[in-house]
Amino acid sequence: MNQNLINHLIGIVGEANILHSGAEKERFTHIWKTDIPLEAIAVVFPTSTQDVSEIMKHCHSVQQEVIIHGGLTNLIGGTETQASQLVIALDKMNSIEEIDEQSRTITAQAGAILENLIDAAQEKQLLLPMSFGAKGSAQIGGVVSTNAGGLRVFRYGMTRQMVLGVEAVLPNGTIISSLKKIIKDNSGYDLKQLFIGSEGTLGIITKVILRLSEAPTSRSSAIVGIENYEQVIGLLKFLEKNLAGMLSGFELMWQSTYKAMTSENSHLIPPLNQEYPYYVFVESLGTKPAEDYSRLEDLIGQALETELIEDAVMAQSERELHSIWQIREDVSVLAAQANFDQHFDISIPIPLIGKMVDDAVIALEKLPFVSCVFPFGHVADGNIHFIIGKKENNAAIIKSINDIIYQPLKAVGGSVSAEHGIGLHKKEYLSFCRSEAEIELMKTLKKTFDPLHILNPRKILSIE
């Protein structure tokens, strides 16, 4: 059967666009796991939506399970495969088809790298405000299918807020195309929303139209040292009130994380000493470079005078700005110091973050197999990340750590996934933040779109 499938796929995409008969093992399931060969029947590289449609029509007819691969940056097992599954990799569907300066939109195939879209928009003095550490590898189809967040959600919203149009292929090969540039469209159900954040379980996103903003001409940044979490909340309110919509980044890092990021083993130089319990990275975007810098500098000065913060450094050049934000963005530095690293991406009501993180750290550090705990995150939107290192690893250890992080969330209305998705790794904990009725409705949607359960099977939901 596998050879028949491969022959049929070759007929659709050509021999040059498929890896099989051992060649598929050149691939992998995550950019951090390049030493682990891919297990799959084959990897097929479509170049158009029509290719994807023809592939899915055939897979549907023979009930062949399919896993979608984008930039392979996800952290929730969303691209893990089995030897009996087919991989559709969207790498070759990577063209940026149009930038419409009047509509302020960008149209791209799903395999286009996010950073390339950002740069293309910037060349037209426009801004695609998606910003996160994996932007140089993440593909826009995966970004949309996971409803990714990042460093500027506070000002610009999640990916969902930037998507105007989507083209997607259903599990049976049907093409759903809603590639519109308009902002307002109340003509019935907004079907594109079903594909945004559903992690490729309802359809394969093949093309998107994204809304752009006018590019700011100034970017001002500072890093500040803070004594307690109440001051963190106070600084957020103070800056949001006084920057009049210019505040675009407000990132929090705990002392243990800052020390690890700026340790002797790191290539990053600490702009502030390592004595403060909290560090906040501030960014404002505006249109008047000199005035905007002075405005942020003045506000930081006021915060120092009123003892809202303990210390601060303003970035006085592009180089300094890059150096400051690299400390926040380059999480590979943390992963390198955390053996058997376990990652978390949770949402907590902002007033509760300080205590809940402290409680989690205390509980985690009591476990004999935990070697390090690194909390940090997008505090302005309630999204906190943990990277946890371990001395050993097994299923029981993973579960005990998961329980410490996830169990308190249900009582406070939090979420086990702020921006990464559910995938395979978190579906056991979906009920911690979704009701039984919500989960049943999700299952109904999955069964309606994919009654054979062939598209990204067993991701998000367990359906028998």
**For residue 267, what pLDDT is reported?**
85
CA–CA separation, 139 and 320 (whole Å) = 28
- The secondary structure of residue 460, as a DSSP letter, is S
Considering all CA atoms of the chain, what is the largest pairwise distance in Å, rounded to the nearest integer? Answer: 74
- CA quadruple 37, 43, 45, 50: dihedral positive or negative? negative
**For residue 332, what pLDDT is reported?**
87
Q: Flag whether pLDDT at 464 surpasses 70.
A: no
Specify the CATH number for 96-214; select among 3.40.50.1980, 3.30.465.10, 3.30.390.30, 1.10.760.10. 3.30.465.10
Q: What are 392's strand-pairing partners?
A: none
Angle at 304 between CA 298 and CA 305, to 5 degrees: 90
Specify the CATH number for 218-329; select among 3.30.70.2190, 2.130.10.10, 1.10.3720.10, 3.90.1200.10. 3.30.70.2190
Side-by-side strand order, sheet with 278-286: 311-314, 218-226, 278-286, 247-254, 370-378, 383-390, 342-347
Tell me the CATH architecture of domain 2-92. Answer: 2-Layer Sandwich (3.30)
Q: Flag whether pLDDT at 326 surpasses 90.
A: yes
Tell me the CATH architecture of domain 338-433. Answer: 2-Layer Sandwich (3.30)
Domains 218-329 and 338-433 share a fold: yes
pLDDT class for 28, splitting at 50, 70, 90? confident
> Which residues in 330-353 are b (16+ Cβ under 10 Å) and which e?
bbebbeebbeebbbbbbbbebebb
Q: Flag whether pLDDT at 178 surpasses 80.
A: yes
Angle at 314 between CA 291 and CA 310, to 5 degrees: 120
Residue with tokens 């990799």: 89
**For residue 1, what pLDDT is reported?**
64
- Check: CB of residue 338 under 8 Å from CB of residue 388: yes
CA–CA separation, 87 and 277 (whole Å) = 45
CA–CA separation, 210 and 108 (whole Å) = 8
Q: Concatenated DSSP letters for 187-230?
A: SS--THHHHTTSTTSS-EEEEEEEE-EEPPSEEEEEEEEESSHH
pLDDT digits (tens, 9 = 90+) for 247-264: 999 999 999 999 999 998
| H or E segment to which residue 20 belongs | strand 18-20
Radius of gyration of the chain (CA): 23
CA distances (Å), 395 to each of 391, 424, 431, in order?
14, 14, 20
- Check: CB of residue 126 under 8 Å from CB of residue 118: no
pLDDT digits (tens, 9 = 90+) for 301-319: 999 999 999 999 999 999 9
392: number of Cβ within 10 Å: 10
| H or E segment to which residue 156 belongs | helix 153-156
For the whole model, what pTM was predicted? 0.93
**For residue 11, what pLDDT is reported?**
97
**For residue 43, what pLDDT is reported?**
96
CA–CA separation, 205 and 147 (whole Å) = 12
Provide the token pair at 175: 């093409």
pLDDT digits (tens, 9 = 90+) for 111-152: 999 999 999 999 999 999 998 888 999 999 999 999 999 889
pLDDT digits (tens, 9 = 90+) for 389-416: 999 999 999 999 999 999 999 999 999 9
Where are the chain's structural domains?
Answer: 2-92, 96-214, 218-329, 338-433
**For residue 26, what pLDDT is reported?**
84
Query: Which one has a higher pLDDT value, 133 or 221?
Result: 221
- Check: CB of residue 205 under 8 Å from CB of residue 110: yes
Query: Which one has a higher pLDDT value, 74 or 369?
Result: 369
pLDDT, mean over the chain: 95
